[in-house]
Structure 1
Amino acid sequence: MAPAGRYRLSCSLPAHELDVRGMARALHPLGGFLSVSRDRSARLWAPIDGANRGFAEAHCMRGHSNFVSSVCTIPPSDTHPRGLIATGGNDHIICVFTLDAPEPLYTLKGHKNTVCSLSSGKFGTLLSGSWDTTAKVWLNDKCMMTLQGHSAAVWAVKILPDQGLMLTGSADRTIKLWKAGRCERTFTGHEDCVRGLATISETEFLSCSNDASVRRWLISGECLQISYGHTNYIYSIAIFPSSQDFVTTGEDRSMRIWRAGECVQTIRLPAQSVWCCCVLDNGDIVVGASDGVIRVFTESLQRVATAQEIKDFELELSQSTIDPKSEDIGDINIEELPGREHLDEPGSREGQTRLIKVDGKVEAYQWSVNEERWMKIGDVVGSSGATQQTSGKVLFEGKEYDFVFSIDVNESGPSFKLPYNKSDDPWLVAYNFLQKNDLNPMFLDQVAKFIIDNTVGQTVAKTDTTFADPFTGGGRYVPGSSAAPTSGIDPFTGGGRYVPGSASDAVPPSGADPFTGKNAYRLDASQAANIYFPKKDAVTFDQANPVQIMGKLRELNGSAPEEHTLSDNELILLERLLSVVSHPYAETPTAQQLETLWKAVRWPEDIVFPALDILRLSVRHPRVNENYCSEKACDQFCSHLIKFLNPSGKQANQLLALRALSNCFTSEPGQRLMMSQMDPVVSQAIELRAGSNKNIHIALATLTLNYAICLNRDRDIEGKAQCLSVISTVIEAVQDLEAAFRLLVALGTLICEDVNAVQLAKSLGVGSQIKKYASVSEPAKVSECCKLILNLL
């Protein structure tokens, strides 16, 4: 339902004691909406029975110890058929409520600063954004993953309707598109903080910003349209039901209605900051502002306020004061302004503003196209040369304020001016003050508390306080500002003797069972489920030709730097080691053999691959595994292998490093090491998905599968979320069916017997990604495995 007529006041609700900072449409049998406030409460409003207009408070929720900044509804589920309510606050937590209890059902902790944005999606997924620069994905009472990539506060978040895509907007001026926990694209164009997001469809969305613009985007990255109309920060944006039209609110005291990207109506409010808005199912608009009042506007004649209520609203508006800078009025010379006769001429566009001089004061009027009249929207202050003695205000940089504090960050450094009005949000003022003056954001609570303590019942002209850098104990801290060779051919000799990663050295053909090495793989559904979901034993790379490996090692030893050249005795040691680890473990590798192998593994990248091949075979041996993966040596060992995963490096090294990391899972020391280093290993390994080498893809899928096996055993839901993200990302890149099959087994292992993991996989859209494998005819194991997973989902 798109806006067709003129919106007028329907009702005003003196709902909260302080600013209304967040709003959302409610999942309530009678309709209605939710509001949250700096007064630390969240309230559910339902239409009054039998009335054409008006709302009554149906439910009040308290659980935060500080201001409440954001709110959203969580869709109904089998457990909670009426849905849930989530609120985020300046106390760094998220409270989740039922519709009939005043206390939280549970709280979500993990953010390190204000939770300023919330969005919900399918299957109970919740996305939160915070001043700590991160966004988090929650499922029930658990954090599934943390989205890291922004360099400043995440002011806006939105879960897209389908495909498992998520959006975040930040004070770093960018918007990021996330899929399965990984940033797919960064949108740039806004010139200031991104404050709001709204989704039009699965492929389009809107953003609003402190740069006073609204942008329309395709998720492919293209900006389709830029709309201007506001004269100051735009705080919120909401879409009309079944429409591409929208409404915005901002710091210029206005709510604006837009059709086809053009502003068609401007409604001013008697409050400086119009923080939030939402659109109800019937098309009515609800807005919350800094005066604590909720106002509902409608285009329905049946729901319009009485004539007296509208008259009272317009009177209140006319008596409000206007900051010329917030309205983009600019410098004013009162002597040059016209009188009331200037209002005899009609305006030329909706929302046009005119200033006139009346009895030595400046009055502002706005043109209404629908009503064909000028409406007074307030008195302009700061334009008449008033002083603090005559106006009760303090003049600072051409604007009048209730308070101007002088803040010293250290005893010897300069002081900074902090202007503040009683109607301002102390936390937002503190945040802007710290950003403007490049001060440590950790001072936020301290500055906001200072403002609150010094503006209660008294006027403070100048107050000095000193802030120390919490890290150094000193004064000012300035944070960073916010902005292949042919297969079968030896690449070194041209021969065909030894090629790491070739078919003979890699894995069984794609028709073979990679877990048994047999070609006759075919199981019915129940057998497959019992064997693979969950899979319990690590998958390793065991095949090798020791004679070829040692031949290549001896050949390349001649070109190794002098300090790395192996002696004849050392070559014999490695040959013996290779023999020991390639057969049933009748012997134990010696310390001298392992030292020699480590020496060879540090050869230059161009010639190191045969040494890496010996390493990936050796690390399967318990003695070798313990030696390289123990606490004493693990950091050096792991970081050295990660180095070979660079996408610009040699493919042979990439392949063998992946296999060595996979083989680490054969013993407990290696498992501990790989789990402790999961983030750096996976973050680097996943970059190799972009290549076309199928053996690398198979090795990457095997590494992922081994992580899934450990995670299933440990019941680590956050680790499972990270692994699901890897599967979702890699399975789109691989073409080889063997790699796809191993990823499918990893997926089944992760979600088997874990309801939370199933729900998370659904929310990430993994089911739609793997459907194509259900129709694979050969090898049959791929389609059978896929169908089993789809049944689980």
Structure 2
Amino acid sequence: MASFNSYKLRCSIPGHEMDVRGLAATVFPEGAFVSVSRDRTGRVWVPNSSSDKGFTEMHSMSGHSNFVSCVCIIAPSETYPRGLVATGGNDNNICVFSLDRPQPLFTLKGHKNTVCTLSSGKFGTLLSGSWDTTAKVWLNEKCMMTLQGHTAAVWAVAILPEQGLMLSGSADKTIKLWKAGRCEKTFTGHEDCVRDLAVISNTEFFSCSNDTSIRRWLVTGECVQVYYSHTNFIYSLAVFPNSQDFISTGEDRSLRIWRQGECSQTIRLPAQSVWCCCILPNGDIVVGASDGIIRVFTEAEDRMASAEDLQAFEDELSKATIDPKTGDLGDIKLEDLPGREHLNEPGNRDGQTRLIKDGQKVEAYQWSVSDGRWMKIGDVVGGSNQQTSKSVMYEGKEYDYVFSIDVNEGGPSMKLPYNVTDDPWLTAHNFLQKNDLSPMFLDQVANFIIENTKGHVVGPAQPAGGDPFTGGARYIPGSSSDTAGFGADPFTGTGRYIPGSGPNPGAPVGVADPFTGGGAYSSAALRQTTNIYFPKTDGVTFEQANSSQIIDIVFPVLDIMRLAVRHPQVNESLCGEAEGVQLCNHLLNLMRPEGRPANQMLALRTLCNCFSGRHGRALLMAQRETVLSRAADLATVCNKNIHIALATLVLNYAGCLHLQPDLEAKAQCLSVASRALETVQDKEAVFRLLVALGTTVASDQTAQDLARSLGVSSQISKYSSVSDPSKVGECCQLLLKELQ
């Protein structure tokens, strides 16, 4: 392996009172970063002006009513030129801060459980993941989409820089790729909870897991490399600017630095859980741990801590206690360990651990390539001679400890009995169940037990015991654990539907109605007029029919209803409160992907025609989410008439939503139209989808920002040069201009 400069401690920052759970480098001030903690605060740290080796707290941010679990930076905008800070917490909320005030600008509510991961994208898009098994897309204080598909907590999310692609990793062991709110692909390979994701490029990303592995993936689905070095859960990842090298942290008390595909350096910390990490613009590494300390490491000699501080850090590390049952040191047999003379032999790689016996003690050492020596990283505990005698009585039984736990501020303390042979996570789980307390306190209680029983046996993790992070069995490293030929529209006798025969009264004189084709079309005339394509707020309907064919087809009733529903009285009768939902459910049933193409098309056309009346519009707006979701599935059916009907339905929804403030509904229109453009080929269907997109974003800056974040511009740019029919290219160009 090529030689690299070794990272050494730059400084330790003891600002938080509890675990540091999230870190993020800020855009401003230069060289600063934000940390968040279970002490319910976030803190902004700036380089110390009097010494480039340390950091000073700029201010503390508060707003959460429970632990703060994650943080990310929202890029600068015209409104907020210094960017924003978003934090997620166990109170199920997301708080968004500016960098110059301690209270949140606004709070995002919508998740039903802990928000444990955040990622920001272009145009202010924010992606969140939660224990409620969902991810949500936020923009301008509104939830625009909810990504549903995982079956367990979503521990990690990431937004790819281009193409509008998003990633989520879950305790269900899978990673999902999302585009425009739809799951495009599921990645499998990890054997336990996926804890973090890190973007490498538009086409690649890293993932890490409780299974002790790191994987490198292509967005096309292939896992191209698996990295092993950690001996316990891996919690966080960060990628260097070269987009190849990266860092990782985990439950094995370590920060690991990966160069050219190999672990080039292992830095042990005097804390069990190294929860989070980030990389500063100058290449320095920041890590946060369960002891509440933030530590910064650097490879620049002029920023390294003094010799005295480096020695103090090493001394602190050497005094740590290590329980072999945690798996931090791999599979070991204490009775077979050599003596101190074993330290005279050099190690084979940086971070290699070696256990030796020193009298009655067992000590752990780690090989440092940069120093050319073995560094003590702690004393190994857990021998049977270290058990204490039971001396505390509680409810008629003897225990090693009986703790008083204060979970609710101001409330009475609760008693928690514990024996050193018990599993702390199982004990904490039983304690919470017995006292009817929220499971969100699980790892706080378990860590309290661990911290207050150091130096004593921590009972073996039981296979049936709950993993505090996944809810599943706790992982112990080392253990075994027929449409193509549908042809022309039988009701118009053509392959392309022309809705209506008269010109659009809203079209300029001398310019063809783009939906009817009526009038003398002139490109020159178009250039002299305003946008004739969107927004289009009057509904497009399917009015023409071939009466002789209606008589002969198998399902004449559906097509007659499609025509009749345009009549005001029929529209009121079929779409009113009494019959409307029943009609809608019947049409949705006919639209199932496995259904007959004729039924699918007629159902879509009937829905489009329902928009012609007040009662039909009200019905379909009330049923929007279900109708559009079912309709979107028909984009994969290889039938151009179905595609035209689908595009028309989306367009009619977009028209009804124009100038309305319902951003979530507009987001669904954008999503369905964008997804349909992935498969639709017919130019008329493409045109109507483009008009639907234009109508959705016209006069709505937030909808425009969302469309940009979904990658709509890059998706539709291929249509800008379409000249047959010319309306496709011209509409596309106008839409691209709108999204600039």
TM over 0.5: yes
Please state how far the C-alpha of 1:247 moved relative to its aligned partner. 0.3
Query: CA distance change for structure 1 residues 348 and 204 in 2, over 3 Å: closer, same or farther?
Result: same
Question: Any residues of structure 2 matched to 1:363-762 within 5 Å, and which?
Answer: 363-389=363-389, 429=425, 433=429, 443-445=438-440, 499-500=490-491, 502-503=493-494, 506-507=497-498, 513=513, 515-516=515-516, 518=518, 520-522=520-522, 524=526, 527-529=529-531, 531-550=532-551, 552-553=552-553, 607-608=554-555, 610-762=556-708
Between the aligned partners of 1:391 and 1:350, the Cα distance in structure 2 is: 45
% same residue: 60
Residue 108 of structure 1 pairs with residue 108 of structure 2 = yes
Give distance in 1, aligned partners of 2:656 and 2:473. 41
Q: Residue 69 of structure 1: CA displacement?
A: 0.6
The alignment status of 1:178 with 2:173, answered yes or no, reads no
Indicate the SS of the match to 1:714: coil
In structure 2, do the counterparts of structure 1 residues 453 and 11 end up closer, same or farther at CA, with 3 Å as the change threshold? closer
SS in 1 for 2:80: coil
Structure 2 Cα separation of the partners of residues 401 and 724 of structure 1: 61
Please list the CA deviations of residues 495-551 of structure 1 after superposition, one character each: whole Å capped at 9, or x if unmatched.
Answer: xxx93574178336999745445153455257452x44321211000011223312x
Instruction: Tell me the equivalent position of 1:471.
Output: none
Distance in 2, Cα, partners of 1:420 & 1:502: 82
* Secondary structure in structure 2 of the residue aligned to 1:272: coil
Counterparts of 2:609 and 2:428 in 1: how far apart (Å)? Answer: 52
> For the Cα contact (< 8 Å) 2:286–2:297, is it kept in 1?
yes
Letter of the structure 1 residue corresponding to residue 439 of structure 2: L
Q: Name the aligned partner's letter for residue 118 of structure 1.
A: L
Measured after TM superposition, the shift of residue 401 of structure 1 is: 9.8
Displacement of 1:365 in angstroms is: 0.8
Give yes or no for the alignment of 1:234 onto 2:180.
no
Question: Counterparts of 1:781 and 1:747 in 2: how far apart (Å)?
Answer: 15
Task: Give the letter for the 1:746 counterpart.
Answer: A
Is 244-253 or 7-16 further displaced after alignment? 7-16
Partner of 1:590: none
- Is the 1:507–1:514 Cα contact (8 Å) retained in structure 2? no
TM-superposed CA distance for 1:633, in Å, is 1.9
Structure 2 vs 1, CA of residues 143 and 776 (structure 1 numbering), >3 Å: closer, same or farther? same
Deviation at 1:242, TM superposition (A): 2.1
What SS does the aligned partner of 1:646 have? coil
What is the distance in 1 between the residues matched to 2:417 and 2:67? 21
Letter in 2 for 1:549: I
1:343 aligns with 343
How far 1:631 moved relative to its partner?
2.2
Corresponding residue for 2:221? 221
Counterpart in 1 of 2:9? Answer: 9
What amino acid is aligned across from residue 86 of structure 1 in structure 2?
A: A
Higher mean C-alpha displacement, 684-693 vs 5-14: 684-693
Structure 2 gap ranges (5+): 393-398, 406-415, 457-470, 475-481, 502-510
Question: What CA deviation, in whole Å up to 9, does each residue of 1:637-673 have, x standing for no partner?
Answer: 1111112222222211111111011111111221122
Is contact 2:240-2:246 (8 Å) kept? Answer: yes
Judge which range, 132-141 or 227-236, deviates more.
132-141
Per the TM alignment, residue 332 of structure 1 is displaced from its structure 2 partner at its CA by 5.7
Per-residue CA deviation, residues 190-213 of structure 1 (Å, 9 max, x unaligned), is 011110111111000000000010
Are residues 403 and 771 of structure 1, via their aligned partners in 2, closer, same or farther at CA, if it must alter by over 3 Å?
Answer: farther
Distance in 2 (alpha carbons) for counterparts of 1:305 and 1:744: 59
SS at match of 2:669: helix
Would the aligned equivalents of 1:525 and 1:788 in 2 still touch at CA under 8 Å? no
TM-score (norm: length of structure 1) = 0.81
1:46-57 equivalences in 2 (<5 Å): 46-57=46-57
Deviation at 1:31, TM superposition (A): 1.6
**Judging changes above 3 Å, is the alpha-carbon distance between structure 1 residues 329 and 76 closer, same or farther for their aligned structure 2 residues?**
closer
Shift of the 205–453 alpha-carbon distance from structure 1 to 2, 3 Å rule, reads closer
Counterpart residue identity of residue 164, structure 2: G
Q: Where do residues 204-283 of structure 1 align in structure 2 (5 Å cutoff)?
A: 204-283=204-283
Contact 2:129 2:154 in 1 (8 A): yes
Q: 1:401 to 1:69 in 2, by over 3 A?
A: farther
The amino acid that maps onto 1:620 is R
Deviates more, 1:212-221 or 1:508-517: 508-517
Tell whether the 8 Å contact from 1:41 to 1:68 is kept in structure 2 after alignment: yes
For the Cα contact (< 8 Å) 2:537–2:652, is it kept in 1? no
Matching residue of 1:311: 311
Q: Structure 2 vs 1, CA of residues 701 and 374 (structure 1 numbering), >3 Å: closer, same or farther?
A: same
Contact 1:284-1:298 within 8 A present in 2 as well: yes
- The farther-off stretch of 318-327 and 80-89 is 318-327
Deviation at 1:353, TM superposition (A): 1.4
The letter for the 2-side match of 1:541 is F
Does the 8 A contact of 2:19 with 2:290 survive in 1? yes
Give the Å deviation of 1:732: 2.0
Please tell me whether Structure 1 or Structure 2 has the larger radius of gyration of its CA atoms. Answer: 1
Aligned counterparts of 1:486 and 1:196: Cα–Cα separation in 2: 43
| CA apart distance, 1:183 | 0.8
Change (3 A) 1:189 1:430: same
The structural deviation recorded for 1:367 is 1.2
CA RMSD of aligned residues (A): 3.5
Distance of 2:527 and 2:606 partners within structure 1: 32
Map 1:140-159; keep pairs closer than 5 Å: 140-159=140-159
SS in 1 for 2:326: coil
Taking a change above 3 Å as real, the CA distance of residues 453 and 358 of structure 1, as seen in their structure-2 partners, is: closer
Q: Work out whether residues 388 and 400 of structure 2, in 8 Å CA contact, stay in contact via their aligned partners in 1.
A: no
Determine if contact 1:488/1:499 at 8 Å carries over to the other structure: no
Shift of residue 764, structure 1, vs aligned partner:
0.5
Q: Is the 8 A contact 1:701 1:739 kept in 2?
A: yes
Deviations 1:250-303 (A, max 9, x none): 000000011122111111000000000001111111100000111111111111
**One-letter code of the match for 2:539?**
A
Distance 1:784 1:440, change over 3 A: farther
SS of residue matched to 1:281: coil
Q: Structure 1: how far apart are the matches of 2:564 and 2:227?
A: 63
Give the distance between the partners of 1:521 and 1:741, measured in 2 at CA: 16
Cα distance 1:454–1:265, how it changes in 2: closer, same or farther (>3 A)?
closer
Corresponding position of 2:86: 86
Deviations 1:611-655 (A, max 9, x none): 221121111112222222222222321111112222222211111
Deviation, 1:333, is 5.4
- In structure 1, C-alpha distance between the alignment counterparts of 2:94 and 2:342, rounded to whole Å: 52
Tell me: CA distance 1:371–1:358, structure 2 relative to 1, closer, same or farther (3 Å): same
How big is the shift at 1:21?
0.3
